Amino acid sequence: MGIKNKWTLVLASALLAAIAGVAPAQETTRRNLLLTQPGWEIGGQIASYHYEEPNIMKLTGERTGFVGAYTYTSPNRVYARIDLRMSYGFLEYESAGTGSMDDVPDWIGEARAVVGRDYLMGDAVALSPYIGFGYRYLYNDLRGYSSTGAVGYRRYSHYYYMPIGVTARIRAAERWVVAPIAEYDAFLGGRQVSKLSDTGIGYSDANNEQKHGRGYRAYLMFESRRWTFGPWLHYWKIKDSDWVPVGLSTLVQEPENWTREYGVELRYRF
């Protein structure tokens, strides 16, 4: 999977210890809006999506998604948060070599866990840095024939990463704060599975390991005690994978690629 066991064990242990430590101390009184708010959140998002392998192919289109989260907080302002996301779209495939295809099913699933702490910088501003562990899954179904008659196949993508970020909360009114978020996603490793056997021409499936890449995220959210909404941007850039044999004296590689998503999101907290 491209991740050394020590990274997984260290991060998992740290997250579980932090969650266990703050859960019994969950606050029941009304919190300052400048601090991270506890509780469950559910919501939805719409987005524009662009995936590209430069000079090879691209997938573009609109997506709809669902989001959920649970946040623990403690009196010493430490918090732990688990986020889940599911996004789906029918995309347009374009390639100079193999033609085009419409309505390509594409799924993204994501799970993250982070720990952090709130720091009040006065009566109107707070900073909340955090660090954690994330997993991103993508399924793309290009089975069928393109406009030039090329045969497609399914693709599965797995990213493992460490989100490192900070939320700033700025008091905007009595019941609202503005909450910009900036995040760097340190890529720990990835795996790309290409079901080349779907083509029926004698290839076996490819399992490529990805070792180098990075990601960024930015949000501009508006928060009350119950509602959160605003625009967001996700970006990934992943380097070339290794080469693997797939039969018929052929080696294949997952080429360098980048992904950009941007959209708007609405959440309700309870």
Stretch 29-50: mean pLDDT: 94
Q: Are 207 and 196 spatial neighbours (Cβ–Cβ below 8 Å)?
A: no
The percent helix, strand, coil of the chain (3-state, each to 5) is: 10, 65, 25
Q: 5-269 belongs to which CATH class?
A: mainly beta
Q: Are 71 and 79 spatial neighbours (Cβ–Cβ below 8 Å)?
A: yes
Write the burial class of residue 249 (CB in 10 Å: 0-12 exposed, 13-18 middle, 19+ buried): exposed
pLDDT bucket at 30, cuts 50 / 70 / 90: confident
Q: pLDDT tens-digit profile of 102-141?
A: 999 999 999 999 999 999 999 999 999 999 999 999 999 9
Query: What single string gives the DSSP state of each residue in 18-38?
Result: HHHHHGGG---SPPPTTSPPP
Domain regions of the chain by residue span? 5-269
Q: Answer with the residue of higher pLDDT: 21 or 216.
A: 216
Please report the pLDDT score of residue 20 as a whole number: 47
Please report the pLDDT score of residue 29 as a whole number: 60
Q: pLDDT tens-digit profile of 203-253?
A: 999 999 999 999 999 999 999 999 999 999 999 999 999 999 999 999 999
CA atoms within 13 A on the CB side of 73: 17
Q: Are 188 and 3 spatial neighbours (Cβ–Cβ below 8 Å)?
A: yes
